[in-house]
Structure 1
Amino acid sequence: MLKNYLKIFVRNLKKNPAYMMINILGLSVGMAASILIFLFIQHELSYDKYHENSDRIYRVSRSFFSQNGEVNLHLGHLAPPFGPLIKSDFSQEIDEVVRVINTEVVLKDEDKVFEEKKLYFSDPEVFKVFSWKMLEGDPLEALSFPDGMVISESMAKKYFGNADPIGKSLELKIGQVSSNMQVRGLMQDIPDNSHFKPDFLVSMELVTDFYGGYEAMMQNFGSNNFGTYILLSEGVDPDNISAQIPAFLNRHINVGDGGTPPASWTNLHLWPITDIHLHSNLDSELEPNSSIEYVYIYAAIAIFILLIACVNFMNLATARSAKRALEVGLRKVMGADRKLLVGQFMSETIIMTFLALVMAFLLAVLTLPFFSDFTGKALSINLLKNPEYLLGMMGLVIIVGVLAGSYPSLFLSGFQPVKVLKGTYKIGSIHEKFRSGLVVGQFAISIVLIVAVLVVVNQLDYMKNKDLGFQKDQVIVLPAFEDFVENFETLKDRYLQHEGIENLALASRVPSGRLLDSQGAKAEVNGELTTMDIRLADIHVSHSFMETFGIQMASGRDFNYQLASDSTEAFLINQSAVRAIGWRSDEDAVGKALHYGNRRGYIVGVVKDFHFESLHQPISPMVFMVPTDRFNSVAFRINKDRSEETIAYLREEWTALKPDFPFNYYAVADRFDQQYEAEERVGTVFGFFAGLAILISVLGLFGLSAYATEQRTKEIGVRKVMGASIGSIVLLLGKDFLKLVLLGFLFAIPIAWYGMNSWLDGFAYSIGVSWAVFLIAGVIAAFIATLTVSSQSIKAAMINPVKAFKVD
């Protein structure tokens, strides 16, 4: 039976090669796109599942509440005492606890000096919790030594070439502190599907010393810099531990001035490690995560493209039904029942789908390197290492085959032999309407994707060009080391003599970063000093900060270097802080008392609101002060016409001041743009796959229009004899298809409107979805459809009428 079906398929392929190739090509393009997308989705869903005990590993996060109980800050990091205290208090429920803390350092090996961003200080238990493979050294002992360091394979090659790294030393520098570390372990590179990927693991002893020793570190509940992970004992319910957290917090954290228990203003939360990558986008993370929303978006795109390809198949198969009507009639007369005919047509579809899969696999393999570069993921189609991929592809053949072939099979097998053999059988209006509905669905999906592309592009353009309330362009940032801070005013005067440097300032954080620092506050409201139930983010700055960034005053004055009290008592706040505290106006806030952390002072000025963070976040209430420490960065405003010369000058100065540290800077404008990389990637994905969706739709429309014009050849000949122009014939043949595109456009509007508004809700500041976007999308779809249909219509309209009436 199968052999017979194969013969029939080959015969039809020879008789209708163009029809077969359009169908196979449409299916193959759709399946190739789906294979690539599902590879990406599979990779995203696999994060951290490679750990042997992934189902028992949890990351602990910390949230803070305002007085009304709302979360105003949620960090993926904890203060240093929490790890040891959790291990001690929950020793029956928790097998291991490990803390890691990430910082940028400089590593030096003789003449090699590099700035490393993926160095993590870690407790020795790290290899008991995470299933990272140690190639050399003892995983249980390597980080127990004060100078212990574990290095990855790629870093070992970078520093030591092909030599054995074990026993080698690297000089580690953090600010003014230098330490010689000994490589005591070599680990395999951390898998790409990890939510954080250390290149170096270093003993926690150095961090303990930084905090002033173990006892001092165990009293510090405010420095939330430690990623903290727990390995639950077998059978332990994490909810039972979560229920005990409030009592744990009240037991260990001192009650504040107001007498409120700690559990009323802070809490700890347990996150399964396998949920972090797609479900955790907290105010601080060890490394940037993705979002489950984008997985849903990519999955929807894959399904849409497959549906479009399947719709093509259905349309072309049913449109050419008359070509096979006689075959079906004869088979039924010879005794074939409907079940047998359905099996035949389904078998033909499965064979075509299999051929499309072979072509799709080749297309996917050829385009995978580009897709991997684009997504930034190490994707591969290795059927030997991943036999489930082969099963998945076979499943794809069956799903697509059944989906694409079900309706044509039922339709073709339903022909009535008597009417077919008499030549009186006609396709019913229901089937014609169904086929038209499929075309409408195709173009609706294509238009939705076009709208998505336009909205994403417009939102990105809005974010990159929106006035942020300060001058972000031509500001570059360098790390501020101790000598620079101590001699800042002297160095500032020297640098300002260079014509390329317009201003410079010190800061604990600069715009484009996150506002993670805050302290308790009391403010003078209605003549009384009142405890604030809001979060005021603090930024430590030098006197020239506002001027360097072009931040404008709304009321009062800026910091003044000539006034010594500005370094001990003065505060600047932004307009959002004025509203949050409850003052009537910006002017009303000036002169009011403010107690913030350990500083007692008053407001000297209010700055206009500006976007310190990305447009994903609303503008936070902020307070600025001039301290003597906690400066992490120095920002330079440089002349745009002398950028290269100025950067070269700063490089020379840096080398003279800090010869052992590489000169690495970033531009504030670039770092703002980098925060929208995920959106840029989504826009590109939408654009690419919208193009594929349109291509597949065009293939189907081309086939349908070619068949429609073929069926109306004699009608066209009669119309030409009666004097019809080419334009009128083209309009006659094309208007029916354009009506379907218009219907698709109308169906697409509510779907695209809802979907893109939901996506824009993820931004604190966004554009609206304007009608212009829908109009442009509709025009694009109509233009493409017109070109496709016209190519066939014009060809038919230009045929000599004599040929139209010629009997073959």
Structure 2
Amino acid sequence: MLTNYFKIFIRNLKKNPAYMLINILGLSVGMTASILIFLFVQHELSYDKYHEKSDRIYRLSRSFFSQNGEVNLHLGHLAPPFGPLLKSDFQQDVEEVVRVMNTNLILKNEDNIFEENRFYFTDPEIFNVFSWKVLDGNPETALSFPDGLIISESMARKYFGNADPIGKSLELKAGPVSTNMQVRAVMQDIPDNSHFKADFLATMELVTDFYGGYEQMMKNFGSNNFGTYLLLREGADIASIEARIPDFLNRHIQVGEDGTMPSTWTALHPWRITDIHLHSNLDSELEPNSSIEYVYIYTAIAIFILLIACVNFMNLATARSAKRALEVGLRKVLGAEKELLVGQFMSETILMTMMAAVLALVLAWLALPVFGNFTGKELSLNLLHHPEYLLGLLILVIVVGMIAGSYPSLFLSGFQPVKVLKGTYKIGSIHEKLRSALVVGQFAISIILIVAVLVVINQLNFMKNKELGFDKERVIVLPAYQELVDNYENLSQRYLQHPGIESLALASRVPSGRLLDAMETRAEVNGSLTPMDIRLADIHVSHSFMETFGIEMAAGRDFDYQLASDSTQAFLLNESAIRAIGWASPEEALGKALHYGPRRGYIVGVVKDFHFESLHQPISPMVFMIPDTRFNLIAIRLKQGLEEDAIAYLKEEWIALKPDFPFNYFTIEDRFEQQYKAEEKVGTVFGFFAGLAILISVLGLFGLSAYATEQRTKEIGVRKVMGASIGNIVLLLGKDFLKLVLIGFLIAVPIAWYVMDSWLEGFAYSISISWLVFIIAGFIAAFIAALTVSSQSIRAAMVNPVDAFKVV
């Protein structure tokens, strides 16, 4: 029986190669897109699951509350004392606690000098928690030495080539501090599907020394720089631990002067390690994470494209049903049951789906390097190393085959033999309407994807071109090493003598970064100092910061280098801070007393609001002050046309002053653009798969229009004899299809608006969706449909009427 089915399939393939090719190509394109997306989704869902104890590993985050109970800051890092205290207080439920602290450091080996951003200080027990493979050395003792260092396999090759790295030294430079670290173990590179990836693991003793010793470190509950992980004991309940955390905080953190308990203004939250990558996008993370929303979006796109491909198959199969009506009638007369016919047609569909799957595998394999590079993921389609992919592909073939073949099989097997053999059988209106509905669905999905592309592009253009309230162009940023800070006055004067440098300033943070620093605030309101229930983010700056960034004053004055008190008592606030504190205007704030953390002073000026962070975040209340410490960066504004000369000069100066440190800089403009990379990828993905959806729809429409034209060949010949022009015939044949596109457009508009409006809610500043976007999307779909249908219509209209009658 199966052999007979196969013979019939081959016979139909030879008889109708164009029809078969369209169906197979449409299915293969849909399956290719789905394979690529499912590989991506599978990779996203696999993060940190390779750890043997992943079901018992939790990371803690820390949130801070305002007086009304709202979260005003949520960090993925904790202060250093929490790790040891959690281990001692919850030892019945917690088997192990480890901390990691990431920092950028300079490493030197002979003539090799590199800045490394995957350098982590950690506790010696880290390998008791994480399942990272050590290739050489003893992980249990490597970090117990004061100079202990574990490096990844790729870093071993980078610094030592093919030589054995065990026992060799790397010079570590952090500001003015320089120390030699000894490689005591080499670990396999951390897998790509990890929420953070370390190339270097160093002993925590160096960090302890930085904090002034263990006792001082254990008193510091404000320096939230440590990723902190718990390994629970077998059977331990994380909910029970979380319920006891408020008491834990109240025991260890000092009660406020007014008797405020610590648990009323801060909290710790556990996150299962396998949830971090897709669910944790806090104000600070070890590395940027993804979002479960994008997994849902990409999965939905894959399903939609598969559905479009299946709809194509169903439409073409039912449209060409008359070609096989006689076959079905004869089989039924000869005794074939409906179930047997259903099996035959389903088998044919499965065979075509298998051919499409083979082609899809080839296309996916060819496209995978480009797709993997685009997503930034190490995706693999190696069926030998991943036999589960074969099972997934088999399921995909069966599902697609069943969906694509179900309706055509039932439809074809339902023909009535008497009417078929008499030549009186006609396709019912219900089937015609269903086929039309399927075409409508295809184009509705295509239009939704086109709208999504246009909205994403418009939002990206809005973010990139929106006035930020300061001048981001031609500003480069370098790390501010200690010697530069100590000699800033002399160096700044020397730099300003170069014709390519306009101005420069020191800062703790610069625009395009996150505002993570804040302290307790008291402000003079209605004649008295009042505690403020707001989070006032602080930025430490030098006198020329506002000038360098082109930030305008709303009231008062900028910092004045001639006034010594400005370095110890003066504050600048932004307009958002003025409103948050409760002053009626910037002018009212001038001269008012402000106590910020340990500093006591007064407000000398108010700057206009500007976007320090990306447009994902609203403008925060900010305070600027001139300190004597905590300058991390130096921002330099270059003169237009002289940028390359100025950068070359700065590099020479850098090498002369800091020969052991590489010259690395970034531009403010590039940093802002990098913050929207995720949105750019979404736009590209939507664009690519919208194109595929349209391609599949066009293939189906091409087949349907070709068949419709073939069925009306005689009618076209009669109309031409009666004087109809080519344009009249094209309009006659195309208007029915364009009606379906219009209906699809009307269905797509509200769905697309709702989906994209929800997406835009993720931005503090966003565009309004213009009706023009929908018009453009509808026009694109209609134009493509018209082009596809007209190509068939024009060919039919050009046929000589005499030949048309001969065909019939």
Give the TM-score of the pair, scaled to structure 2: 1.00
Cα deviation 1:554-598 (Å, max 9, x = unaligned): 011100010000000000000000011111111111111100000
CA distance in 2 between partners of 1:549 and 1:259 (Å): 42
- Structure 2 match to 1:672: 672
Deviations 1:619-651 (A, max 9, x none): 000000000110000000001201111100000
> Counterpart of 1:362 in structure 2: which amino acid?
V
Q: In the TM superposition, what whole-angstrom CA distance separates every residue of 1:645-673 from its partner, at most 9, and x where no partner exists?
A: 11000000001111100000000110010
Taking the aligned partners of 1:74 and 1:152, their CA distance within structure 2 comes to 31
**Residues in 1 aligned to 2:801 and 2:332: alpha-carbon distance in whole angstroms:** 38
Distance in 1 separating the partners of 2:258 and 2:373: 54
Deviations 1:755-801 (A, max 9, x none): 00011000000001110100000010111011100100000000000
Deviations 1:62-110 (A, max 9, x none): 0000000000000000000000000010011001000010110000001
Paired residue for 1:163?
Answer: 163
Report the counterpart of residue 770 of structure 1 in structure 2: 770
Report the Cα distance in structure 1 between the residues aligned to 2:509 and 2:807, rounded to whole angstroms.
83
Kindly provide the amino acid, as one letter, of the partner of residue 699 in structure 1: L
Identity among equivalent pairs (%): 79
Q: Which residue does 2:530 correspond to in 1?
A: 530
Letter of the aligned partner of 1:596 in structure 2? Answer: Y
Deviation for aligned residue 1:490: 1.4
1:695 correspondence with 2:692: no
Q: What is the CA–CA distance in structure 2 between the aligned matches of 1:137 and 1:85, rounded to whole Å?
A: 30
Q: Counterpart of 1:478 in structure 2: which amino acid? A: L
Is 1:708 aligned with 2:708?
yes
1:265-284, aligned counterparts within 5 Å?
Answer: 265-284=265-284
Q: Does 1:217 align with 2:194?
A: no
Q: Deviations over 1:515-567 (max 9, x none)?
A: 00000010011111100111000000001000100000001110001000000
Tell me the amino acid that sits aligned with residue 155 of structure 1: M
Q: State the secondary structure of the residue aligned to 2:502.
A: strand
Distance in 2, matches of 1:636 and 1:704, equals 63
**Does 1:779 find its partner at 2:779?**
yes
* 1:595 equivalent in alignment to 2:621: no
1:338 aligns with: 338
2:542 equivalent to 1:542: yes
Encode CA deviations 1:7-53: one digit per residue, 9 max, x unaligned: 11011101100000000000000001100000000000000000000
Matched, 1:612 2:603: no
1:61 aligns with 2:61: yes
By how many angstroms is 1:489 displaced? 1.4
- What is the CA-CA distance between 1:491 and the residue it aligns to? 1.0
Aligned to 1:390: 390
Q: Report what 2:571 is aligned to.
A: 571
Tell me, in whole angstroms, the C-alpha distance in 2 between the residues paired with 1:77 and 1:496: 39
Structure 1 distance, partners of 2:561, 2:126, is 48
Q: How does 1:283-682 map to 2 (within 5 A)?
A: 283-682=283-682
Deviations 1:712-736 (A, max 9, x none): 0000000000110000000000000
**Aligned ranges 1:712-791 → 2 under 5 Å:** 712-791=712-791
Where do 1:105-184 residues align within 5 Å? 105-184=105-184
| Alpha-carbon distance in structure 2 between the residues aligned to 1:690 and 1:246 | 50
Give the deviation of 1:807 after TM superposition. Answer: 5.0
**What is the rounded CA distance, in whole Å, between the counterparts of 2:529 and 2:242 in structure 1?**
36
Letter in 2 for 1:284: S
**Separation of aligned partners in 2, 1:541 and 1:210:** 23
Give SS of 1:766's match.
Answer: coil
Letter in 2 for 1:529: L
Matched residue type, 1:792: Q
Deviation, structure 1 residue 317? 0.1
What amino acid does structure 2 have at the position aligned with 1:669? E
Letter in 2 for 1:643: E
Question: Whole-Å Cα distance in 2 between the matches of residues 498 and 467 of structure 1?
Answer: 29
CA distance in 1, matches of 2:87, 2:633: 36
Counterpart Cα distance in 2 of 1:274 and 1:310: 35
- Secondary structure of 1:641 counterpart: coil
SS at match of 2:241: helix
How far has the Cα of 1:256 moved from its partner? 1.6
What is the CA-CA distance between 1:400 and the residue it aligns to? 0.3
Determine the C-alpha separation between the residues in 2 that align with 1:648 and 1:166: 39
2-structure distance, mates of 1:416, 1:590: 91
1:257 is matched by which residue type in structure 2?
E
Amino acid at match of 1:250: N
Q: List per-residue Cα deviations over 1:316-348 (Å, max 9, x = no partner).
A: 000000000000111111111111111111111
C-alpha distance in 1 between matches for 2:74 and 2:219: 21
AA matched with 2:476: I
CA deviation profile, 1:719-754 (whole Å, cap 9, x unmatched): 000110000000000000000011111110011000
Amino acid at match of 2:746: L
Unaligned runs of at least 5 residues, structure 2 = none
Give, in whole Å, the separation in 2 of the partners of 1:746 and 1:519: 53
Amino acid at match of 2:776: I
Residue 706 (structure 1) shift: 0.3
Question: Partner residue of 1:48?
Answer: 48
Instruction: Please give the alpha-carbon distance, in whole angstroms, between the structure 2 residues aligned to 1:563 and 1:377.
Output: 54
User: What is aligned with 1:21?
Assistant: 21
What is the CA–CA distance in structure 1 between the aligned matches of 2:582 and 2:247, rounded to whole Å? 34
Find the aligned partners of 1:109 and 1:486 in 2 and give their Cα distance.
28
CA displacement at 1:247 relative to structure 2:
0.2
Closer/same/farther in 2, CA of residues 655 and 807 from structure 1, 3 Å limit: closer
Alpha-carbon separation, structure 1, partners of 2:142 and 2:776: 62
Paired with 1:397 and 1:111, the residues of 2 have a C-alpha distance of: 57
Tell me the distance in 1 between the aligned counterparts of 2:492 and 2:650.
Answer: 12
**Deviation of residue 157 (structure 1)?**
0.4
Who is 1:249 aligned against? 249
Distance between the aligned counterparts of 1:307 and 1:58, measured in 2? 39
CA distance in 1, matches of 2:807, 2:221: 93
- The CA RMSD measured in Å over matched residues stands at 0.6
Displacement after TM superposition at 1:258 (Å): 2.1
TM-score (norm 1): 1.00
SS at match of 2:641: helix
Q: AA paired with 1:341?
A: L
**CA–CA distance in 1 between the matches of 2:312 and 2:53?**
47
Moved over 2 A (4+): none
Q: Which residue of 2 aligns with 1:226?
A: 226
